Amino acid sequence: MDLLLLPSLSNCCFPRLLPSNINASLVTSGSSVRVPRPFQCKAAISEIASHDPIVARRSANYQPSIWHHNYIESLTSEFVRFSIVKDETGQFKASLCHDIKGLLCLYEASFLLIEGESVLEEARDFATKELKRYINEGNKDSNLSTIVRHALELPFHWRMRRFEVRWFIDENRRKKDMNPMLLELAELDFNMVQAVHQEELKQMSRWWKSTCLGEKLSFARDRLIENFIWAVGMSWEPQFGYFRRTLTKINVLLTVIDDVYDVYGTLDELELFTDAVESGQISVDLICRRQSGITARGDVPKSIQCYMKETGATEEEAREYVRSSIAATWKKMNEEGAASSPFSQTFTEIAKNLGRMAQFMYLYGDGHAKQNRESKDRVFSLCVHPIPPHRDEQE
């Protein structure tokens, strides 16, 4: 259509087309036939009729759908209602208590829940209780008992992926029924990726030494390896080396700045320091942390101590509150992960891995600040010691 004709049609609304089986002469004010009332047009009816005659429409005579709405609404699934693991009374079947591997799978799956999934909450409570009973009774299957203890300490969904690879390889080496070819492939893969990480760590060590910050700022934590572990935990794949190197540098510098606020600077100095570095977008909230008070060890109060002081709760109550807060946060993360997102899957997985790394680093205390035995062993297993071939151990 010629675009020049459009302005002339701005005040005109076209009549609706009538079905072919309705006589147009019946469409009158006194007609008993109820059809949609056509829109009135300011243009002459005769002019419209001459240009837009009523079109006779064809029909394919399709049959009505056999899938009725009521039938679709009545659809049910025993899997949605967990009836395969529950009895007629709605309780979990007693037979499940003897299937430890099945209970372990149920326990791990329950941590994928989102807010409002009460059945999975019940499943987690039931599986946790029965798995603890299995451990307390004492059993001959030491390998299965070790895996159950490991899961009860922290579920797989919350654990740092790279460390879990090493842990499961080491554990499967003790199994009598392990697949030797599959185990050898897993060992080779881990060692090859570890070699990539070692080269990156060497680069980071040369960079950190060149800055001389570790020597000049003796009050700050020198935690290059720990910060590199953060980067590995968030994205361990070999192709993301640039990401790991960049994130390591950022984390190292943030650790130093954090110690300037928490340990070294006075309030007046910190205000000046914040003004000086604000173009790195450092939050003034760090000053608030300084004002909140410092413990005898020189650290700012941790969340448990803060909750105890604010509410008067006991340490165990405060720990339970923190645990429930972590679980609630994971529900939100699970829900966000399942929803459609404008971000790539790689980005969203890295975001989840940040949460996993936090639990990994602080599982046995402050693994970032304190270089205790657990943190040292984890560094060795992740970045230093390759997995020896299984046949060498057998010899």
* Tens of pLDDT, residues 150-165: 999 999 999 999 999 9
Which pLDDT belongs to residue 83?
A: 55
User: Is residue 166 very low, low, confident or very high in pLDDT (cuts 50, 70, 90)?
Assistant: very high
Does 77 or 357 have the greater pLDDT score?
Answer: 357
Mean pLDDT of all residues in 128-135: 93
| pLDDT single digits (tens) 70-122 | 888 888 765 655 556 776 677 777 778 888 998 999 999 999 999 888 888 98
> What SS3 state is found at 86?
strand
- Top-confidence residue, 224 or 21: 224
The model carries a pTM of: 0.68
Looking at residue 394, its pLDDT comes to 52
| Lowest-confidence segment of 135-139, 177-181, 284-288 by average pLDDT | 284-288
Closest alpha carbon to 251 in 277, 229, 236, 275 = 229
Lookup: tokens for 110? 């329950």
Query: Which segments of 146-254 are extended strands (E)?
Result: none
**What is the overall mean pLDDT for the chain?**
79
Measure the CA–CA gap between 225 and 208, rounded to whole angstroms: 11
195-202 CB contacts, 8 Å cutoff, 24+ apart: 195/386, 196/238, 196/241, 197/228, 197/232, 197/236, 197/244, 197/382, 197/383, 198/383, 198/384, 200/228, 200/241, 200/244, 200/245, 201/225, 201/228, 201/383
pLDDT number for residue 383: 92
The arithmetic mean of pLDDT across residues 277-295, rounded, is 46
Q: CB–CB of 39/14 below 8 Å?
A: yes
Report for 230-239, 271-280, 360-369: range of highest mean pLDDT = 230-239
Q: What was the pLDDT predicted at 214?
A: 84
Give residues with Cβ within 8 angstroms of 190, minimum separation 6.
165, 166, 169, 386, 387
The average pLDDT across 135-153 equals 88
Which long-range contacts does 275-281 make (Cβ < 8 Å, 24+ apart)?
A: none
Among 77-91, 108-122, 227-241, 358-372, the minimum mean pLDDT is found in: 77-91
Query: Residues 6 or more apart from 260 whose CB is under 8 A from it?
Result: 217, 220, 270, 273
Positive or negative: CA dihedral 140, 141, 142, 145: negative
Provide, rounded to the nearest whole percent, the portion of the chain with pLDDT above 90.
Answer: 32
What is the arithmetic mean of pLDDT over 190-211? 95
The confidence score (pLDDT) of residue 350 equals 92
Longest dimension (CA), the chain: 103
pLDDT at 20: 46
Q: Exposed, middle or buried: residue 389 (CB in 10 Å: 0-12, 13-18, 19+)?
A: middle
The whole-angstrom separation of Cα 253 and Cα 283 is 15
Higher pLDDT, 319 or 33: 319
Domain architecture of the chain: domains with CATH:
83-153 (1.50.10.130), 220-264+301-370 (no CATH)
Least trusted range by pLDDT, from 144-153, 208-217, 298-307? 298-307
pLDDT at position 178 is 87
Query: Which of the listed ranges 80-89, 207-216, 386-395 does the model predict with the highest average pLDDT?
Result: 207-216
Q: Are 197 and 385 in contact (CB under 8 A)?
A: no
Q: What is the mean pLDDT of residues 160-178?
A: 91
| pLDDT of 65 strictly over 90 | no
